[in-house]
Amino acid sequence: MNLVIIRENEKPSASNGGGLLRFCVSSEPLAGIVLGGLSRSSLRVYGSITPRGRLAGAEAARPICAVPGSWGVTPGKIQSVEIVSYEKKTPLDSAALYKAGSDPWCVITNGRFATQFNDELLGKILAGINADVVAVNAESELRAAHEKVRLTVQGNVAGFRRLYNDSAEPVSFPVDWPHHLFIRGCILERCLDEGALPESFAAVLEKCRSNDLKARSIKVAGSSLDLDTEEGIFALCEAELSLSTARSCMQSAGNADDSQRQKARLIGEVLLGKNVRIDSDVIIVGPSIVCDNVRIERGAVIDSSIIGPEVRIGQDQVVRNSVVAGPHYRIEDKTTFGKYASKPIHNRGRFERRSPGDEVFRKWSMFSYAGCFKRIVDIVFSIIVLILFAPIMPFVALAVKLTSPGPVFYKDKRQGRYGVAFNCLKFRTMSIGSDRIQEKLRIVSRVDGPQFKMEDDPRITKVGKFLRDTYIDEIPQFFNVLWGQMSVVGPRPSPESENTLCPSWRDARLSVRPGITGLWQVRRTRKSGQDFQEWIYYDTRYVRHLSLRIDCEICRQTIKKMIKSFIEQF
């Protein structure tokens, strides 16, 4: 079951008077745009808990929009959106309850907000969560590429971290209705009050406690639009008008007399209601919506605005970035007007359509060397190396196992392209538990910055020293290359703890896959106090100038260095 409930705003703000959403839902064709947008928003959320392909028909999952009876909205359908009215509680009929019992989750959407989530992430959370009722709110700060500050209990800054992937976190229950409330279908009736949803969210939680149901509250990476604000309404209408369904509605509207429409210049996405009278020399710039029975007189200009029903736009008047709610709002001057637009809106709320890699990472075209052919070279090269070293790898594994207790391979969590974590493989060269004493030894580290290196490291085994000096310990990393986690040539693979300390340049390094070898590895001088600076310089320089010629030169110098180091062992 998928239900969208639009409620009265119990705490109206001075800016909207508490009636903006009511005005939108009661005015055609604006109502179709707003309710259609809410329906699509809720349908996407419902799709996150639905087996793939089940929403192909979509009609069975299309949400029901419940609107307060006092708003005077006629029950029925508005552009395929089913509307029902309710008084204090939202009743659910027996058919809806029967259908809900077969669904894994019933979705109750707060109709004041249109949301977008990472559907895949939300689906995984709900599939594994141990709860009967889950309150979910969208949180933009949990989206990829956001910086998140961590505070102590006292409010002091403990640190910060970069989110390279959309994430979620548990939170305390909100005071008011969440963006979405998920209730398991099999227990829905136990959350109802005499066959209807309780009036408040607090009453729902009380039902959960009295019926011994487990309830959880989480925030999930996403974005939301508050439809009781100008910014939210404008952003939703702009998004909906850009859809092909809205454009076809505009083109087939017959909503205004054709002879009158031809008198005006319609620029961009403009939706006209019924019986709209337009005089000559009128300019309407989209995204704009003009509701039913509007009169627009000669020379008027409407720019990115919503005009309510029965409104008269006088001669030569300009309406810009405004919501004009009704016929009793008259123009007093020659500029922007409207009950909800005392000043122009410059920063409209928008859905955030971002993915890891947008805006912060460098991009290459698909058919460039960095975008495609480098990956092909990596696969071919790694297969050749693994075949060549296949005969000696069992002997190396046996030597590691016999000379010190512990696993043959060491898996270190590193950040790859776009910050995606992976296990970097190496033959183990240190004794077990070495990472736990590293901070105690940092005082004798030979390098500056977040790295660590010391002479005659006591944690390294005898076999491990030979493997390091000959670079044989890094052979398993070619499996990482084969799996697409690394490249043969690239920046040094580093853990999140090091990248967190280097916010100004880490995104450049994480624009490409980390490499087994790289420019820094072949050019570093190991001078005291300069190693960290060289690391930054060479890694970012490599990303700026990435090319086949540079990769070939780095491979040549690496092979030369490896041969020299191997000969020195004997």
The fraction of the chain above a pLDDT of 90, given in percent, is: 15
The top-scoring range by mean pLDDT among 235-244, 316-325, 343-352 is: 316-325
Contact 336/352 with Cβ under 8 angstroms? no
Enclosing H/E stretch for 66:
strand 64-68
Q: Is residue 358 part of a domain?
A: no
For the cut 70, the answer to whether the pLDDT of residue 525 exceeds it is: yes
Domain end residue (candidates: 323, 353, 383): 353
* 494, 513 contact by CB (below 8 A): no
C-alpha distance from residue 52 to each of 106, 222, 346 (Å): 17, 21, 40
Residue 291 has pLDDT above 70, yes or no: yes
- The tens digit of pLDDT for each residue in 25-42 reads 888 888 888 888 888 888
The pLDDT tens digits for 248-271 are 444 434 444 555 555 678 888 888
483 and 457 inside one domain? yes
Same structural domain for residues 312 and 378?
no
Q: Is 522 a domain residue?
A: yes
Q: What is the CATH number for 133?
A: 3.90.550
10 falls within a domain: yes
Residues 268 and 134 in one domain: no
Does residue 362 fall inside a structural domain?
A: no
Looking at the fold, whether 126 and 59 belong to one and the same domain comes out as yes
Cα distance between residue 127 and residue 118, in whole Å: 14
Q: Give me the pLDDT at residue 219, please.
A: 92
Which residue is it, tokens 């490599």?
542
Cβ neighbours of residue 9 closer than 8 Å, sequence gap 6 or more: 16, 18, 19, 21, 112, 228
The range of the structural domain enclosing residue 167 comes to 2-227
pLDDT range class, residue 91, cuts 50, 70, 90:
low
3-state SS, residue 363: coil
Residue 360, in any domain of the structure: no
**Rounded Cα distance, 167 and 503, in Å:** 19
| 373 and 335 part of one domain | no
Mean per-residue pLDDT of the chain:
78
- Mean per-residue pLDDT, 226-242: 84
Helix axes 548-568, 374-389, angle to 10 degrees: 20
Q: Region 56-70: what's the mean pLDDT?
A: 67
The pLDDT assigned to 549 comes to 92
At 359, the pLDDT band (50, 70, 90 cuts) reads: low
Is residue 25 within 8 Å of 112, Cβ to Cβ?
A: no
Question: What pLDDT was estimated at residue 514?
Answer: 93
For the whole model, what pTM was predicted?
0.64
3-class DSSP string for 350-362: CCCCCCCCCCCCC
Taking only the tens place, the pLDDT of each residue in 436-464 is 666 556 555 555 556 666 666 677 888 88
Do 204 and 300 reside in the same domain of the chain? Answer: no
**122 plus 57 within the same structural domain:** yes
Is the pLDDT at 570 greater than 70? The verdict is no
Q: Same domain for 493 and 382?
A: yes
- Residue 188 forms part of a structural domain: yes
Q: Do 503 and 407 share a structural domain?
A: yes
C-alpha–C-alpha distance, residues 229 and 238, integer Å:
14
- Selected residue with higher pLDDT from 99 and 186: 186
Of 471, 468, 474, nearest to 560 by C-alpha is 471
Q: What is the pLDDT of residues 292-303, one digit of tens each?
A: 888 888 888 988
Res. 247 pLDDT band, cuts 50 70 90 = very low
The reply to whether 177 and 255 lie within a common domain is no
Only one residue has tokens 């105690």, namely: 440
**Is pLDDT at 324 greater than 90 in this prediction?**
no
The residue among 172, 195, 227 that closes a domain is 227
Of 324-328, 442-446, 452-456, 563-567, least confident by mean pLDDT is: 442-446
Residue 465, domain member (yes or no): yes
Final residue in a domain of this structure, among 168, 198, 227 = 227
Q: Which amino acid is at 309?
A: P
Same-domain pairing of 237 and 320:
yes
Structurally, the chain folds into a number of domains equal to 3
Verify that 215 and 235 share a domain, yes or no. Answer: no
Does 361 reside within a domain? Answer: no
Q: Label residue 466 by pLDDT band (50, 70, 90).
A: confident
Query: Cα–Cα distances in Å, from 235 out to 225, 276, 314?
Result: 8, 24, 27
Other CB atoms within a 10 A radius of the CB of residue 133 amount to 24
Among 265-269, 320-324, 339-343, the least confident range: 339-343
> Which CATH number fits the domain that encloses residue 289?
2.160.10.10
Q: So what's the pLDDT on residue 251? A: 41
pLDDT digits (tens, 9 = 90+) for 101-142: 566 788 888 888 988 888 888 888 888 888 888 999 998 888
